[in-house]
Structure 1
């Protein structure tokens, strides 16, 4: 079940990537919902996904901050 949530999260983030504020909001929900090791995977995925999307690159800080709180 947990793996399905991770994949679902990635799909949602891809769909809302057109709007920076919505992307950040969904990312914050994802960080609270996922397991700590999945947050680490999400961080790696985000670095790759936002490589060519500079408007979204700032959202990575959300994951970095939450990652340390576990």
Structure 2
């Protein structure tokens, strides 16, 4: 079940990546819902995903707490 939530979260973040405000809002939601090990996986995925999207780099601080 939790894997489905993680995959859903990644999909939502991909769709929201055009708007940094919406992206950070969705990322905050994910940080509150996901389990600690899932947040670690999400953090690694975000580093890869935002490597070519500098406008989203500042959002990484949400999951680096």
Q: Report the equivalent of 1:49.
A: 49
Q: How many residues align?
A: 65
Runs of 4+ off more than 2 Å: none
How far apart, CA to CA, are the structure 2 residues paired with 1:46 and 1:28? 13
| Residue 39 (1) aligns with residue 32 (2) | no
Q: What is the CA distance between 1:15 and its match in structure 2?
A: 0.2
Give the TM-score normalised by structure 2.
Answer: 0.99
CA RMSD of aligned residues (A): 0.3
Give the TM-score normalised by structure 1.
Answer: 0.92
